[in-house]
Structures are given as C-alpha cells and as structure tokens.
Amino acid sequence: MIKSLFRIEAWGSNLMECDYIVLRMRSPPPGFRFHFPNKLRTSSKSLLVPFRLNFSYCVALDVVESNPTSDSGYSDIRNSPSRFREGFRRKPRKATIRNLPNAVLLGENIEKDVRSKALDLDRMETLRSCSRVLRTCASERSLNEGRAIHGQVIKKGINPDSHLWVSLINAYAKCGSPTCARRVLEEMPERDVVSWTALIQGHVAEGYGCDGINLFCEMRREGVRPNEFTLATGLKACAICMDLNFGRQVHAEATKLGLDSDLFVGSALVDLYAKCGEMELADRVFFYMPEQNDVSWNALLNGYAQVGSGKEVFKLFSRMRESEMKFSKFTLSTVLKGCATSGNLREGQVVHSVAIKIGCKLDEILGCSLVDMYSKCGQACDALKVFKMIKDPDVVAWSAMITCLDQQGHSLEAVKLFLLMRCAGVRPNQFSFASLISAATDLGYLKYGESIHACIFKYGFKNEISVSNTLITMYMKTGCPQSGARVFEEMTDHDLVSWNALLSGCHGFKTCDLGPRIFCQMLVEGFMPNMYTYISVLRACSSLWNLGFGRQVHAHIIKNSLDGIDFIGTALVDMYCKSKCLDDADVVFNRLINRDLFTWTAIITGHARTDQAEKAVKCINLMQQEGFRPNDYTLASCLGGCSHIAALETGQQLHSMAIKAGQVGDVFVSSAIVDMYAKCGCLEDAEAIFRGLVLRDVVAWNTMICGYSHHGYGHKALETFWTMLDEGAVPDEVTFLGVLSACSRMGLVEEGKKQFNSLSEVFGITPTVEHYACMVDILGRAGKFDEVEHFIEKMELSPHALIWETVLGASKMHGNVEFGEKSAKRLFDLTPEVDSNYILLSNIFASKGRWDDVKNVRTLMSKRGVKKEPGCSWVEISGQVHIFVSQDGSHPKIRDIHLKLEDLSQKLTSAGYAPKMEHVLHNVTDKEKKEHLNHHSERLALGFALISTKPAKKIRIFKNLRICEDCHDVMKFISDITNREIVVRDINRFHHFKDGACSCQDYW
C-alpha cells in the first residue's frame, strides 16, 4: 500500500514540475516535456569519481575525438526527431561511459553531419537544433549522447546562446550528473535566473532536496532574483526534505515579490504544507489562490488523505467535481485512499462509479487503490473482483490483494494467491512476504512459514525491518521463541514493533523471565513503550508471578497516562489476579469503563483461584446482567474454585448455570463438574455425572480415579483405572498419582510396585517427585522402613522435602522414632519454616513419653520463630460458608456451639471415649487440655452444623490441616451417637464417618 501511495505522490510532483516548466520556459519547443524519474537515484554521484578537473569537457571531447571519421547528417536528427527518440528508447536507460558503442555511433553521425552540413546552416538554427537534441537526451536520460553533443559544441567552437546553456545544464542535471551541470553553470558568462532555476530543478528532480535549498541560497547570495519557477522549485526542494522552516521563508519571499498568488508557486506551497501535515496552512493558501488547477487540487487532496481525514478528502472531491475541474485517475486514487482510511465504503463505491462513468481504464494504479479501498472497508470479495479485472497486475497489485486476503482472515486464499503470483512470474517484494508470513502465523503452519523465511533470504529481504518483525511474531506465536529471538538478534536495526514482537513471546514457562529484562533493555535503548509493549510485559509478569515488577510497570503506565486504555486495564486485572492480589485487581477492574468478556473472565478466575468462589459466582451474575455469557473457560475455572474450598451449593448453582447455557456437553466443564462434586464430598453425584458423560477425556478419568482414591475407595479407583485402559484411553502422570495413592491407602504394596514400574516402562512417563513420594508412602504405611531407605537411596531425584515429609508421616503412624528423627532432621534443613514437621516429631516423642525431647523440639521451633499454623475448618450452611479457627470465640452462635459440644462430651464419655491429651502441646492442666481439644476448629464446625441443620442431613466439614487423632475418634463416636453421616475433608483425603467407623479404616 505504501508503495502505491508513493507512486501517486511521485506522479503528483511530476505533473506539477512538467506543467510549469513546459508552460513557462522561454519559448519551449513544441511537444517538449520533462521526464522525471520515479526512483531517487543515489548512485549517480559515484559515476563521476574517475574524472578529474574540468572532466565534463574532457569526457565530452574524448567521445568526439575517438571517432573523428563520422559522416552522418545532423539534419537527419533535426528532421526526424521521432526516429531519433525511437533509437534511444531501445538503449538502456542508464548510459554509462563503458557503454560506448551507441555513443560512438551517434558521435560519428554528428561528426559527419556537422562536417558536411553545419557550415551551411544558419548559426541560430544550429543552436536551436543542439538545444532540442540536448532536451531529448535529458528526457531519455542519455548522459553519453548529451556529452557527445556538448563535445561537438566545444569542438566546433559554437558560442552557446542562453538557450543552449540552459539546455546543457538541464541535460547534465537530468542525466544524473548534477556536478557537471554545476560546472557548466560556472562556465556561463552570464548566469541568469533561468540557468539557476534549471540547475536547481535538476537537483530537485534527482531528489536532492537539500542541495536544491543550498543552490537556492547561493543564487540569492549572488543577487539573482527568483522568478515564479525558482520559487516553486525551491518549495519543491523543501517538500522533499520536509524543511517547513525554509519553506516558510520562501513563502515570505514569494509574498514580497507578489508571486504568492501565482498558480505554480501556490500549487507548490499547497504541496509543501500538505506534505508537512500543515493542513490549515495548505487550506488557506489553496483558497487564497485566484484560480486552482488540478495540481493544487491533487496536492491538497493528497495532504488530507495522508493525515487520515477521509471525510475531508471526499468533501473536497465533491467540491472539485462541482467546480468542473478535470480530474484524472490519480485524483481518484487519492480520494480512494481517503475513503480507505476512513473506512467509508459508500463513498468509495461512489468514487468507483465515477471512475467507470468517466471511462477510466482499470490499470495498476487505479486497480490497486480500489483493491485497497475495498480491503480496508472489509469487502474482500469486491477487492478480489477488482483485482481479477486488472490486466497484468504488477507486484504492488498482487501484494495489495494478498495483504487484503490475509487481513480479512482468508489466510489460505492469501497463500494460494501467492502461488498464482509466482506462477505469473512476478517477483515478490517485502509487502507480499510480510503478508504471507502473517497468513502462515494465522494458519499455524510453522513449516510453511519457515520455507517462506528461506525465500526471504533468497530474495534478499532479510534486512527489511517489516519482514523481520512479522517473522519474529510468527515464531513467537507458533511456539518457537528461540527462533524468534534469533531473527531479532540478526536484525541490524530495530524499531518499536520489533521489540514488541520479541516481548510478545515472553509469557511461556521457559521464556517469561526474559520479559522484564527485555522491557528494561528496550527502555535503556530509548524506545517509548506503547500499549502492546505494556500488555506483553504484564503478561510476562503474570506468568512469572512477579508482582513487584508488575507494580513498577503499572506505575510506568500511569506516568505515561495510558491507564485509561481498556486493553491495558484488562492486562493489569489479569496480572493482579494471577499474582493473587485481588484487592488491587478489583480497584483496576472497577475503574474500567468498558469491560469485555476477557476482563470478566480474568476477574472471575482470579476470585475462583483465591478461594473466593462465592464472589466469583456473584461476578458471573453481574457479568450476565451486563450482557455477557460465561464461556466454558469461566465456568470450568469457577467450578475449580468451588472444588478447592468445597463450596458445594455454589458449585451446584454453577452446575445449573452450565445446564442452562447448554455447556454441560463441553468436556472441560463436565470434568470440572465431576471434580467439584468429588471434592465437595458428593461422590455419588460425581459418579452419576461421570457415567452420563458421552466424551471422557483423560482429565475426566483422572478426576474420577483420584476422587475414589481420596474418598478411600481404593478398589473402585483401581477398577476405574482398568476400565479406562480397556476403553483405550491413555493414562498420564496424574492418573498414576491417583492409582498409586489408591494402592497406598489400601496397603497394596505389590500392586503399587507393579504400577510404579509400568509408569515408565509401559507408558514412557518420567516419574515425578510426587510419584516417588507415593511409592515411599506405600512402603512407609506398610511399615517397610528398610525398603523405604533403599528406595530413597537409589532415587534418581535429588532429596526433596515431599519425600521426607512422607517418611516422617509414616514414622509417626508406626511410632518409628529412628526414622522420625532422621527425616525431621533433613526437613529442618530443607524447609525450616514448615510448622507441621516440628509438630509431627514432637508427637512421635510424646507418644513414647519422651517429654524432654518434646520440649527440645518446641524450643527449637520458637527459637526459629516458627508458629503453628492455626487449624481452620469450614462448613457451608444455606449457601454461606462459616469459617472456624481453633479456639476461636468470634462466631455469633459460639455460646450455643459450646453448649452443644459440652452436651455431647458427656455422652461421649459414657460411650467409652477417652481424650488423647498428648496432642496438646501446652503446659496446662488436664481439664484445660480437655477443653482445648474440645475447641479444635473441626469440632466447632461440627457443633455449628449439628445445631443448624435437619437431623437427617449429611454434614460436610473441611479442614486446612490434617485431622488430629483425637478429633478423628470424636467424629466416629458422634456419627454413631447422633446417627448422622459426617464427611471430613482434611489436607490429604476424605473421611466418611458412619455408624462409629471411618472409611479410612484409621489408616491415613
């Protein structure tokens, strides 16, 4: 698109220069037109390096003198200028010194011509002929031929008149020899404004805007007064190098000379101001001009199109049509560009119909503009229709069409079109490659993208910044951040887009720690971050859980006043949620004006994952009120939140929500529902839903196997595992965690060993530390401490706290002081801050009556500042979660709870219960110890549940720690006395108490 834009611009400037020079030259010959190159020639200077002082003369004479015996007629050239031009056209445009044969031939011709007839001709006629031929040379950019003429002029001693001088300057300037042109000017006896203008013009036409400005200044220093063409050329020079300041000075000079209302000066001024984006000034000059021509109209239209005021472009175009100004396809192209930027399809269609009405041929320029307009207005089909009508589309048109298809989401069509383009023999450019890479990214075809990467190398576009940027994005999006980083490193130059592309890949598990570093490096290199930068770096912080850096980025965003952007707001909410800073997330969330599905999902999952399932469900309801439907991801993560805190009633609400939204068929949602019921202690419900599932993925199977295992139904867990294998599902590492823990709970040592070995040998899964811990648990629970020791020794993993915690638990269960001390010692080094290790060890000593050792452990604990994590239990009554902390008296119904527990305690004693005082670590009396036990959090929760629910209802209690042995006994007795079913979920598993027994068979 940029390319086609450039083409129109170049054309606009050509028209202006052509017209005013043709019209205002001193009696220009008929049919004379300047020809300007579209491309800025930068290599023309190096052509002159081998020549020394006065080389223009030397070279010119060389050409002539090396062929002294030519006899062709000069008049032939004069009489048949069309043939002369024909002959030139066949030659290469860039005539170099080495390219002598052609020049030699011409030299011969001229030599003969001059020798035989020149003397007979009128001197004036010779001069005019020379001037004419020189102008043709200039228009054909034939440097050598121009030099040959110059050589003849010198050799024959022709005294040039002012016309010929100007023609010489013009010829050299236009043929890419501005230095020669300059030397001719210096040879001139009288330098007037016309010769200066020709020289400046030559430089400007070659794209040397600064040189043009310098020459303009030099001319003024010599006291030559500029005319309207000089001024217009000077302004053109300013427009090339966007020198608005000097342009204003030239404008002032024009006003002083009374030339500012001149059509050409005015047009040049409009062009300059429009190019510099000073639309107000451009507008004022334009409407101040007594009359406007198509050049000034185009300049103004182009300016508005460039600053993106599509509406203004169309309005101007309507005025232009009213003024009956003739317009060309270039005008139409500019207007189409305006329609494209404002995305106004209706206006674009009007311009298209005007083009058809005036009979404009659908060539590359107009075709490209139409394709671009339809593409930007989202009409890929219309764009394709126009494209198909273009005869012989060039690379710009092909690229425009490929870009359109890619941007409108027709990636596969874009790839196919590229193939057609290659078949048509069109060489791709950087734009076609960039669009193709983007299409490959959307399609996720990494291999195809890589082959295009190779093509980019082959065609030499690897240093093209836009191409490299799309390559980085492709590698980042297709999960190859290393390749993306390599492309970034190989780039010679980076822009903001390259940095953003690099950052966009830094949120994965392996790359997220690079995010903050890249962000800092980018700031060091002086780049100003934009919205995309912040979104990417915040994502990296979320993945890293780096709240500190996230807060710094937030401060940076506020400093740059970008915190009002909704996308950044969503990224901030996500970052705070993932870092478990829900208060900050709420603040940012509430400030957002437009909240979309992503923002809602972020805040809902944030609450669900931080044990605030209730709040998450409230958010879901609010979200529905705002007109957003929760998607499967929101529902699944909310259900996950309910499972975590065992909020059954909230989970049931979500279940009904999922049924209403028709999302129970989704495998993620259904697995989450099964998991929620299993974790909330409703194994029957979980089972029923699991059986009804049409599709069972590995997650659903795992949920059920682990559910059975946690509830103490080891045989059911193993049965499910075997069914899973029968149905052809492939187990993963989580499946084996469920299977191994089932074996451990059932005391199936041999089965456990068999499954542990099959894990790596049959299913090729590398066992993780959790699997090893399960195996240690199996052996430890069975009291096989020698095997445990042996197993740990040959373990391939470095010693891990989880392994020793398992050993310590087993030691406690079997009262093995030796292993207990050994494992606790390792744990005190590995994780000195974990309170439960100290407590377990002191309990082992207490059970053996080693009170001094108990005291030592407790001293060590207080010396290290380790505090016992308070026991915390909760029950959900009528949709509300009631939380009880051990020894806590803050609940409004605490008096009734205490009374209920007191009442039960008497019944317990008569049923044969004896409190296990050794579990109280405080130095207090037995009565106090008994009361202390009576106020454990799970008992407070039980007391509250008993007084608040109907007699037949199952009671579900959840605890943050392992249930203590004394409470376990109490629960068994109470289930019998009150004839109630009690389910307690502690940190490890479920205990189903019924008729005085527990599902764990006192083995946990």
- Beta carbon nearer to Zn ion, 856 or 988: 988
Residues in the chain: 1004
Instruction: Specify the DSSP class assigned to residue 733.
Output: H
| Contacts of Zn ion in 483-512 (CB under 5 A) | none
Nearest distance, CB of residue 974 and Zn ion, angstroms: 13
Q: Are 737 and 774 in contact (CB under 8 A)?
A: yes
Burial class (CB in 10 A: 0-12, 13-18, 19+), 858: middle
Indicate whether 932 belongs to the interface with Zn ion (CB under 5 A).
no
Choose the binding region for Zn ion from 424-432, 727-735, 854-862, 989-997 (rule: CB under 5 A).
Answer: 989-997
Rounded Cα–Cα distance for residues 685 and 706 (Å): 15
Query: Which of these segments, 133-141, 373-381, 760-768, 984-992, binds Zn ion (CB under 5 A)?
Result: 984-992
Site size for Zn ion, by CB under 5 A?
Answer: 6
Element (H, E) at 958: strand 955-959
Residue environment code for 172-199, b if the CB has 16+ CB neighbours within 10 A, otherwise e: bbbbbbbbbbbbbbeebeebeebbbbbb
Q: Which stretch binds Zn ion (CB under 5 A): 75-83, 333-341, 745-753, 934-942?
A: 934-942
Q: How far is the CB of 929 from Zn ion (least distance, A)?
A: 12
Residue number, 491 or 984, with CB nearest to Zn ion: 984
Min CB(655)–Zn ion separation in Å:
28
User: Which region among 92-100, 254-262, 690-698, 991-999 touches Zn ion (by CB under 5 A)?
Assistant: 991-999
- Closer to Zn ion by Cβ: residue 656 or 1001: 1001
Measured in degrees and rounded to the nearest 5, phi and psi for residue 109 equal -55, -50
Closest CB 842 distance from Zn ion, rounded Å: 15
Tokens of 911: 């049923």
Among 964, 974, 982, 983, binds Zn ion (CB under 5 A): 964
State the minimum distance, in angstroms, from the CB of residue 937 to Zn ion.
Answer: 8
Residue number, 167 or 934, with CB nearest to Zn ion: 934
Q: Is 414 a binder of Zn ion (CB under 5 A)?
A: no
Least separation in angstroms between residue 482's CB and Zn ion is: 51
Rounded to a whole number of angstroms, the minimum distance from the CB of residue 859 to Zn ion is 24
In whole angstroms, the minimum distance from the beta carbon of 818 to Zn ion comes to 27
Complex with Zn ion: residue 517 or 715, whichever CB lies closer:
715
- The residue range among 130-138, 423-431, 838-846, 958-966 that interacts with Zn ion, by the rule CB under 5 A, is 958-966
| Backbone dihedral angles phi then psi of residue 906, each to the nearest 5 degrees | -65, -45
Nearest distance in Å: CB 948, Zn ion: 21
Q: Is 427 helix (H, G, I), strand (E, B) or coil?
A: coil
Which residues, other chains included, contact 100 with Cβ-Cβ below 8 Å and sequence gap of 6+?
A: 63, 144
Cα within 13 Å of Cα(692), Cβ side: 12
In the complex with Zn ion, the residue whose CB is nearer, 287 or 1003, is 1003
Three-state SS for 276?
coil
Residue 459 burial class via C-beta count within 10 angstroms: exposed 0-12, middle 13-18, buried 19 and up: middle
Phi, psi values for residue 617, rounded to 5°: -65, -40
Using CB under 5 A, which of 337, 494, 745, 936 touches Zn ion?
936
Options 354-362, 405-413, 822-830, 983-991: segment touching Zn ion (CB under 5 A):
983-991
Residue 879, both tokens: 């949709």
- Residues 930, 934, 940, CA angle at the centre, nearest 5°? 170
Single out the segment in contact with Zn ion by CB under 5 A; choices: 211-219, 781-789, 844-852, 993-1001. Answer: 993-1001
Pull the structure tokens for residue 5: 């834009």
Q: In the complex with Zn ion, which residue's Cβ is closer, 556 or 916?
A: 916
CB 977, min distance to Zn ion, A: 17
Binding of residue 998 to Zn ion (CB under 5 A): yes
Instruction: Between 505 and 780, name the residue whose CB sits nearer to Zn ion.
Output: 780
Identify which of residues 417 and 967 has a Cβ nearer to Zn ion in the complex. Answer: 967
H-run or E-run covering 82: helix 81-89
User: Which H/E stretch holds residue 797?
Assistant: none
Binding segment for Zn ion (CB under 5 A), chosen from 61-69, 209-217, 688-696, 935-943, is 935-943
Q: How far is the CB of 781 from Zn ion (least distance, A)?
A: 14
Q: CA 400 to CA 3: how far, in whole Å?
A: 10
For the bound state, the minimum distance from the C-beta of residue 621 to Zn ion, rounded and expressed in Å, comes to: 37
Q: Which stretch binds Zn ion (CB under 5 A): 448-456, 485-493, 551-559, 988-996?
A: 988-996
Count the alpha carbons within 13 Å of 313 in the hemisphere toward its beta carbon. 30
> 761 vs 119, 477, 757, CA distance in Å?
106, 35, 6
Spatial separation of the C-alpha atoms in residues 500 and 534, rounded to whole Å: 9
Residue located via tokens 């200039």: 138
In the complex, what is the shortest distance from the CB of residue 986 to Zn ion, in angstroms, rounded to a whole number?
Answer: 9
Q: In this complex, which beta carbon is closest to Zn ion, that of residue 316 or of residue 920?
A: 920
| Cα 828 from Cα 430, distance rounded (Å) | 62
Tell me if 602 contacts Zn ion by CB under 5 A: no
Contacts of 233 by beta carbon, 8 Å cutoff, 6+ apart: 17, 197, 200, 201, 204, 212, 216, 268
Q: For residues 285 and 289, what is the distance between their CA atoms, to the nearest angstrom?
A: 6
Query: In the complex with Zn ion, which residue's Cβ is closer, 544 or 646?
Result: 646
Q: Given strand 872-877, what is the order of strands in its sheet?
A: 880-885, 872-877, 955-959, 982-985, 990-994, 997-998
Cβ pair 47, 171 in contact under 8 A: no
Cβ 907 to Zn ion, closest distance in Å?
18
In whole angstroms, the minimum distance from the beta carbon of 446 to Zn ion comes to: 52
List binders of Zn ion among 22-51 (CB under 5 A): none
Half-sphere exposure of residue 248, counting CA atoms within 13 Å on the CB side? 5
Q: Which is nearer to Zn ion, 453 or 935 (CB)?
A: 935
CB nearer Zn ion, residue 329 or residue 711: 711
Nearer to Zn ion, 615 or 919 (CB): 919
Minimum CB separation of residue 933 from Zn ion in Å reads 6
User: What is the per-residue burial (b if ≥16 Cβ within 10 Å, else e) of 479-497?
Assistant: ebbebbbebbeebeebeeb
Q: From residue 882 to residue 921, what is the string marking binding to Zn ion with x (rule CB under 5 A)?
A: ----------------------------------------
Tokens read off for 526: 């002086």
**Residue with Cβ nearer Zn ion (228 or 931):** 931
Structure tokens at 529: 């971050």
Shortest Å, Cβ 1002 to Zn ion? 6
Q: What Cα–Cα distance (Å) separates residue 281 from each residue in 251, 412, 899? A: 11, 47, 89
Selected binder of Zn ion within 235, 370, 571, 1000 (CB under 5 A): 1000
The residue from 340, 396, 967, 983 that contacts Zn ion (CB under 5 A) is: 967
**Toward Zn ion, which CB reaches closer, 544 or 964?**
964
Q: Which is nearer to Zn ion, 771 or 936 (CB)?
A: 936
| Structure-derived torsion over alpha carbons of residues 762, 763, 766, 767, reported in degrees to the nearest 10 | -80
Rule CB under 5 A: is residue 991 a binding residue for Zn ion? yes
**Residues binding Zn ion (CB under 5 A):** 936, 964, 967, 991, 998, 1000
